[in-house]
Chains A and B, each alone.
Chain A
Amino acid sequence: MMNIFLFAISAALVNNVVLVQFQGLCPFLGVSKNTKTAAGMGGAVIFVMTLANTVTSVIYYYVLVPLGIEYLNTIAFILIIAGLVQFVEMFLKKKIPTLYRALGVYLPLITTNCAVLGIAISSVQDELSVGMSILNGFFSAVGFAISITILASIREKMERNNIPKAFQGGPIILIAAGLMALAFQGFSGLM
C-alpha cells in the first residue's frame, strides 16, 4: 500500500509528465486559456491515458513479447493509441452521451499528445507489470491534469495584468510554466 502511495507521488508530482519530463506541452500551452477547459482536458487525458496504458501494456506483454518483436513497440503503440481514441470517441458518442459531452471535444486533441505515447513507451521500457503500468498511466495523467489546471488559473489571473508587448502571448506563459517547473522540482525532495 505504501509502495503504491509512493509510486503515485512519484508519477504525479516528482516525475510530473509536463513540467519534469516535457511531454504533452502542446495541449499544456494551447488549451490552458481558462480553468474549465483545462480541467476538461485534464479529465479526458486521465481517461485516455489509463485506457491506452492498459491496452498497450497488455498488447506488449501478450503479443509483442511472445512473438519476439518488442522493437516494433513504437509503431504498434502509436497505431493502437490512434485507433483506441477513435474507437472511444465513437463508443462514447453512441453509448454514453453524457460522458461524450464532457470529454468528447478533447479526444481528437489527445490522439497524438506525445505524453500518451511517451508514458506508454516508458512504462514498458521500465519493465513495469501490467497493473503497475495502468497505475503509472493514471497517476501521470493526474499529474498532467494538476499542472494544466494550475497553469490555466495562473493565466486567468494574468489576463488583467499589464504585460510588456513582447512578452504577451507565448513568452509570459513559458515563464509562468518555468516558475511552476521550479516549484515542482521541490517535490524531488519527497522521494
Chain B
Amino acid sequence: MNRITERLYNGIVKENPTFVQMLGMCPTLAVTSTAINGLGMGLATTVVLTMSNLLISALRKVIPDKVRIPAFITIIASFVTIVSFIMQAYTPELYDSLGVFISLIVVNCIILGRAEAYASSHPVIPSIFDGLGMGLGFTLGLTLIGILRELLGAGTVFGVTVTKELWNPIAIFTSNPGAFFVLAFIVAGINAFAIRKAKKKGEKPKLRRIDTCAGCTNMACQGRKFCGEEAEGTVSAVKDQVKKTEVKKAEVEKAEVEKTEVKKAEVKKDENEKVEAEKAEVKKAEVKKAEVKKAEVKKAEVKKAEVKKAEVKKTENKVKSVDGKAAKAAAGSGKNEEKKAPEKSAETPKKPSKKTGKDGE
C-alpha cells in the first residue's frame, strides 16, 4: 500500500512529467487550447500508459531484450488504437478536436520512457500505479495549462463563463503562439522559484531546460542520449568517429602510398646510386683508364720489364693530353656562357622598347 501511494505521489508531484521532466511537449502545446481538450488528452494518455505498463510488466520476462523496443511500440500502438476507437464512439467531439494527436500518443515520450525505466523491470501492481501516477500527473499539467489558456484567451473555464463579461479576453492565448508564451512563462516561473529556493540554501539552482528534451521518445535512440545538449555531444561524437575512421583510412592509404613511395624511392635510390656510380665511374673513368693503363703498364712491367720506361712515358703523355683536353673544354664552355649572357642582356631591353613603341602608336 505504501508503495502504491509512493508511486502515485512520484508521478503526480515529484516527477511530474509536464512541470518537472518537461516531457511530451507536442501534445502539451497542441491540445491545451481549452481545458476540456487538455483533460481529454491527459485521460487518454493515462489509459494508454496504465494499460501498456500493465502488459509490458506482465510480459517482461517473455520479451527478449534485443527486440524489446519494437515489442513495446507494438503494445503501445495497440492500446492507442483501442483508445481512439472508444473515443470515436463515445466522445466524437473530443475525438475531432484532438485529431491526429490521439494517434500520436504512440510517440509520446512519457509512455515509452516509463516502459523502459519502470515497467520492464518491476512487478505488475507497482507498474500499474506508476503508469496511473504519471498519467494523472500529465493530465494535471495539461488541464492546468488548458484552464489558464482558456481563461486568458476566451474568458471561460470548461466552457463556463468566468471573466468573459468583465473584460475582453485576449484571443491570442487560445491560438498557437499563445501556447508557446504560456508555457514559456510557466517554465520561467518555476525557474524563478527554484533560483530563489537555491539562493536561500546557498546551492546552485536546477533550472528546467526544455531544449534538452530529455525523453524525446525513442526506439532507436533509446531515451535521452540523442537529445538536446547530449544530442549535440553524440552528434559530435559520431562525427569524430567518422573522422577517426576517415583518418584511419587516410593513414592506411598514406601508409600504402608511403610503402610504394619507399619502394619507388628505394628503386630510385638504386637507380640514383647506379647513375651516381655510373657518373662516378664516368668521372673516374679517365683516372681508371689511367690506372688500368698503369696496371697494364705494371703487368707490362712484369711481362716486358725491358720496355717499361718507354710505355710509362707514353701513358703519362696520354693522361696529360686528356687533362689538357678537359681543361680546354671547360674553358670553351665558360667562353660560351660569357658569350650568351651579353646576348640576353642585349635582347631584354629591346622588348620594352617595342612595347613603348606600341603604346606610342
Contact = CB atoms under 8 A, between A and B. Distances in A.
A169 B211 contact: yes
Given A23-B104, A74-B80, A82-B70, A112 B220 contact: yes
Nearest to A72: B81
Interface residues of B, number: 63
Contact of B188 (A106, A167, A185): A167
A170 B235 contact: no
Given A30-B228, A167-B188, A185-B175, A178 B210 contact: no
Interface string A90-115: 00000000000100111111011110
Contacts of B77: 74-75, 78-79
Given A31-B231, A72-B81, A74-B106, A25 B29 contact: yes
Interface in A73-94: 73-75, 78-79, 82, 85-86
A118 interface: yes
Contacts of A171: 184-185, 187-188, 191, 210
Main secondary structure of the interface of A (DSSP, over half): helix
B106 A117 contact: yes
Contact of B213 (A29, A78, A86, A106): A29
Most buried by A among B179, B188, B195, B238: B188
Given A78-B107, A118-B104, A86 B220 contact: yes
11 contacts: A22-B26, A26-B25, A72-B81, A75-B81, A105-B239, A107-B220, A121-B104, A125-B100, A166-B192, A171-B187, A181-B177
Interface of B: 22, 25-26, 29-30, 70, 73-74, 77-78, 80-81, 84-85, 99-100, 103-104, 106-107, 109, 112, 172, 175-181, 183-185, 187-189, 191-192, 195, 207-213, 216-221, 226-229, 231-232, 234-235, 238-239, 242
